[in-house]
Amino acid sequence: MSNSALTSAFLAPQIDPFDHYWQRDNGDLFASAKSGMATALDPDFLAWAARNTASGGTGRPSIWPRDPITGQQTMVTLQAVLVQWGLYASLDSRKAALKAEIDAKAEALRSALITPGSGQAMEYQEAQAQASAALAAPQGASAALYPMLAASIGLDLDPETGAPATDVLGVARAIRVAFEGWLAAGAAIRRARLLGKAAVDAAETLPEALDAAAAIVWPRLA
């Protein structure tokens, strides 16, 4: 059963998904307003039931959705309904989504530094390897020995002269400077990502988790 089918089966159009309740057959009650469990005696639930009845509703929570195969009422089946509104059935599921967003942001920043593609990555790796080898043994550096470097002669700027490189050593120096810049930026992105995810993990409430994700200071890329 699709999310839309689950929604039509368990959520009437007049219901506000951000302020609603779902109930399992065993009495477990989920409150979307706090992304957590409630009880039938909670003041918030009683107030919601009164408001719902006054607005023409039944004053009762919706039936907790079931797995279409097993018939079980689980957090997964509830999440399938909630996710379309950006709601989460538990703090852990919201944390997982926040951490996925953090990883995606980090990847977007990394992608701004490099050209995507596995072939392109192999090219960068080979150029870096040739640059390291050429700089380690400059006396033997030649275009024939380092074809990946030779391909950039006249294109890459030699950091020693500020002009286009005239030999493979100039290209190697340009690659070394670019690689060092990438390392610094990559390390900063990695630290921001890991610190942010750790802070989300440590959060004990939904607001704390949201604040932790929002507080991440991502590095500014030149």
The string of pLDDT tens digits covering residues 24-55 is: 999 999 999 888 899 999 999 999 999 999 98
Residue with tokens 């009845």: 53
pLDDT score of 106? 95
Higher pLDDT, 109 or 13: 109
The pTM for the full model equals 0.64
Q: Please give the mean pLDDT across all residues of the chain.
A: 88
| Cβ–Cβ under 8 Å, residues 35 and 206 | yes
- On the question of pLDDT at 204 being above 50, the answer is yes
Q: N- to C-terminal Cα distance for the chain?
A: 48
- On the question of pLDDT at 4 being above 70, the answer is no
Q: For residues 173 and 127, what is the distance between their CA atoms, to the nearest angstrom?
A: 11
Among 116, 118, 119, 144, which residue's Cα sits nearest to residue 130?
Answer: 144
- What average pLDDT does this structure show over 141-167? 94
The string of pLDDT tens digits covering residues 187-197 is: 999 999 999 99
- What average pLDDT does this structure show over 11-30? 84
CA atoms within 13 A on the CB side of 33: 10
Per domain, the residue ranges of the chain are: 3-89, 106-214
Q: For residues 65 and 53, what is the distance between their CA atoms, to the nearest angstrom?
A: 22
Sheet holding 36-38, edge to edge: 36-38, 29-31, 21-23, 62-63
